[in-house]
Amino acid sequence: MGKPDKMNKNIKDTNEEVKDIQDTSAEEVKEGSAESMSAITSDMANEATDNDLISGDNAPMVLAENLVKIYKTSELEVLALQGLDLRVERGELTAIIGNSGSGKSTFLNMLGGLDEPSAGKLFVDGKNLFKLTNKEKVLYKRDTVGFVWQNNGRNLLPFMNAMENIMTPMHLTSDKNKKERALELLDLVGMSHRKYSRMNQLSGGEQQRIAIAIALANRPKLLLADEPTGSVDRKTADYIFDLFKRLNTEYHQTIIIVTHDVELSKKVARVVAIRDGKISSERILKEHYSNLGNGEINWMEEETQDEFSIVDRAGRIQIPRNMLDSLELKGNKIKVTIEDKTIMLQNPEEKI
């Protein structure tokens, strides 16, 4: 894959970062709160990712294993991702929801090749993202992923028109029919009538539609969108969300879309929730409904979906906050019992 010296450097960096984590957990032992960090490091030691699973025909589009991200500033360390596991199949549309600060953008930026983890593994389309050389990473960002941001200023060149903007990412590719492709994309996002408009002549929602066309320009295998409806009104948000759904159902585009909009997320067959840098729960369309056409489903009805908590390899789950609060625990101890394959969690002070 990469040049040996570069790969060695990557391995060295990773080792140093793993050591940093171990140092952190050693410090935290003194404070008596090291369980999660030491579990993370022991998980890493036990980890054995099967290579065939990653690059074979049935390989998922995304496989994230135990991703850890620590941001270090001079004053403090922020654990943005705390052992995140996620698998996304080819052709899936997955929504990620979570409170502000839960690690959604950190994860999406890693998928986009814009950030590196402190530990863990990430495979996209069979590529181990953290073993790419700089050159491979440039190609990855150009050809494998397309990115749509909340603030579309990151996608758009303000003084170029819509057509020119869409053709910009195609310049370095061998695509022969750049103009035709741009026209096709303008049509797809419903913006054919504005092809010669400059970006500063378009509304926020229209700009976002052009940003989606730009992200699709090089036919990415994975389309990433970080709160793409965060700065537009309700009606435009619905339009944009439906556009993502259409890309998925009609063109089988694999899409991961981060949103804080719970109503919009209900339109998606699979919604994963991030809490404190980890996938805490997942909502999946019930099997019966997944056999129906889109038009036959009332997406706003709760009963169409099942909600599950996610249990990681170490057996940890995150108890939904409202359930935990209802137990009114005084400390951090909880009574766990099992009966008829049903596990119960109780306040130890509560009489059974």
Ligand X SMILES: Nc1ncnc2c1ncn2[C@@H]1O[C@H](COP(=O)(O)OP(=O)(O)O)[C@@H](O)[C@H]1O
Reduce the DSSP state of residue 37 to 3 states and report it: helix
The distance of closest approach from Cβ of residue 105 to Mg ion in the complex, given in angstroms and rounded to an integer, is 3
Residue 248, burial from CB neighbour count under 10 angstroms (0-12, 13-18, 19+): buried
C-beta atoms surrounding 239 within 10 Å = 17
Q: Which of 105, 218, 254, 259 binds Mg ion (CB under 5 A)?
A: 105
State the binding partner of 98 from Mg ion, ligand X, none, CB within 5 to 8 A by kind. Answer: ligand X
Question: Is residue 103 involved in binding ligand X (CB under 6 A)?
Answer: yes
State the binding partner of 78 from Mg ion, ligand X, none, CB within 5 to 8 A by kind. Answer: ligand X
Minimum CB distance to ligand X smaller for 73 or for 332: 73
What order of strands is seen across the sheet that includes strand 127-128? 77-88, 62-72, 119-124, 127-128
Q: DSSP secondary-structure letter at 129? A: G
State the binding partner of 80 from ligand X, Mg ion, none, CB within 5 to 8 A by kind. Answer: ligand X
- H helices of 1-98, in order, are 4-31, 35-46, 51-55
189 CB-near residues (< 8 Å, 6+ apart): 209, 210, 212, 213, 243
Q: What type of residue sits at position 326?
A: S
Strands (E), the chain: 62-72, 77-88, 93-97, 119-124, 127-128, 145-148, 222-226, 254-258, 270-275, 278-285, 305-309, 335-339, 342-346
Q: Which of 25, 66, 106, 265 binds ligand X (CB under 6 A)?
A: 106
Considering only the C-alpha atoms of the chain, give the largest distance between any 2 of them, rounded to a whole number of Å.
74
Question: Is residue 104 involved in binding ligand X (CB under 6 A)?
Answer: yes
Minimum CB distance to ligand X smaller for 28 or for 115: 115
Minimum CB distance to ligand X smaller for 76 or for 352: 76
Distance CA 352, CA 333 (A): 16
Minimum CB distance to ligand X smaller for 58 or for 73: 73
Q: Which of 52, 71, 89, 249 binds ligand X (CB under 6 A)?
A: 71
Structure tokens that stand for 237 in this block: 């948000």
Question: Is residue 118 involved in binding Mg ion (CB under 5 A)?
Answer: no
DSSP string, 196-252: T-BGGGS-HHHHHHHHHHHHHTT--SEEEEESTTTTS-HHHHHHHHHHHHHHHHHH-
Question: Is residue 324 involved in binding ligand X (CB under 6 A)?
Answer: no
Sign of the alpha-carbon torsion through 15, 274, 307, 63:
negative
Q: Which of 66, 82, 102, 207 binds ligand X (CB under 6 A)?
A: 102
Minimum CB distance to ligand X smaller for 104 or for 181: 104
Q: Tokens 């052709």 appear where?
A: 91
Site for ligand X in 193-212 (CB under 6 A): none
Minimum CB distance to ligand X smaller for 103 or for 146: 103
State the binding partner of 106 from ligand X, Mg ion, none, CB within 5 to 8 A by kind. Answer: ligand X
Question: Is residue 113 involved in binding ligand X (CB under 6 A)?
Answer: no
Minimum CB distance to ligand X smaller for 65 or for 226: 226
Q: Which of 44, 67, 70, 80 binds ligand X (CB under 6 A)?
A: 80
Minimum CB distance to ligand X smaller for 71 or for 196: 71
Q: Which of 58, 73, 174, 342 binds ligand X (CB under 6 A)?
A: 73
Question: Is residue 229 involved in binding Mg ion (CB under 5 A)?
Answer: no
Structure tokens that stand for 5 in this block: 């010296």
Q: Which of 41, 142, 138 is nearest to 82 (CA)?
A: 41
State the binding partner of 103 from ligand X, Mg ion, none, CB within 5 to 8 A by kind. Answer: ligand X
Q: Which stretch binds ligand X (CB under 6 A): 102-110, 168-176, 234-242, 341-349?
A: 102-110
Q: Which stretch binds ligand X (CB under 6 A): 41-49, 70-78, 126-134, 187-195?
A: 70-78
The answer to whether 143 touches 218, Cβ cutoff 8 Å, is yes
**Residues binding ligand X (CB under 6 A):** 71, 73, 78, 80, 98, 100-106
